[in-house]
Amino acid sequence: MRVAIASDHAGFEQKAPLAQYLSDKGFTVIDEGPDNAERVDYPDYAKRVADAVAEGRADRGVLICGTGIGMAIAADKVHGIRAANIINPEFAALCREHNDANVITLSGRFVSLEENKRILDAFFETDFGGGRHAGRVEKIMALEN
């Protein structure tokens, strides 16, 4: 699986270790930046990862900012993206099972690196449940039209 990852300055410290964590698990990680911890605008990096997923260059996306909130709001503006801001492993599993989320956004300031690793485990190990959830996700995507 190809995973695009990016952060802003507030998520930068966790980006490399999380990218390495995913790489060690066998994922192909595409680092969409930034290259340093200088102040940047999170929508620019949300767009990079969202575009990579929407255009099929990546299967999933991971975004890290201070809260994860701005990254989710921005990424969800891109057609084809279902981004969820997640702060615990239970919600990570549910955003996959119920919502078929294809981008996860994380908090670099309020959630520890170790907890974010557990969140990524749940996100990548949980399949979409389909069934009654499928029609609801279709209705979400129809809102883009």
Closest CB to ligand RB5 among 14 and 67?
67
Rounded Cα–Cα distance for residues 56 and 42 (Å): 21
Rounded Cα–Cα distance for residues 54 and 32 (Å): 14
The count of chain residues that interact with ligand RB5, using the rule CB under 6 A, is 8
Please confirm, yes or no, whether 9 is among the known catalytic residues. no
Nearest distance, CB of residue 136 and ligand RB5, angstroms: 26
Taking CB under 6 A as the criterion, the residue among 12, 42, 45, 124 binding ligand RB5 is 42
Taking CB under 6 A as the criterion, the residue among 50, 51, 67, 101 binding ligand RB5 is 67
Please confirm, yes or no, whether 95 is among the known catalytic residues. no
Report the candidate in 19, 45, 1 with the shortest Cα–Cα distance to residue 113: 19
Nearest distance, CB of residue 62 and ligand RB5, angstroms: 15
DSSP β-bridge partners for residue 84: 104
**Collapsed DSSP state (helix, strand, coil) of residue 71:** helix
Rounded Cα–Cα distance for residues 35 and 117 (Å): 21
Closest CB to ligand RB5 among 6 and 10?
10
Q: Is residue 75 part of the contact set for ligand RB5 (CB under 6 A)?
A: no
Q: Is residue 66 part of the contact set for ligand RB5 (CB under 6 A)?
A: yes
Report the candidate in 122, 101, 120 with the shortest Cα–Cα distance to residue 24: 120
Tell whether the torsion through CA atoms of 127, 131, 134 and 136 is positive or negative: negative
Specify the stretch interacting with ligand RB5 by CB under 6 A; choose among 21-29, 63-71, 94-102, 128-136.
63-71
| Residue ranges in contact with ligand RB5 by CB under 6 A | 8, 10, 42, 65-67, 69-70
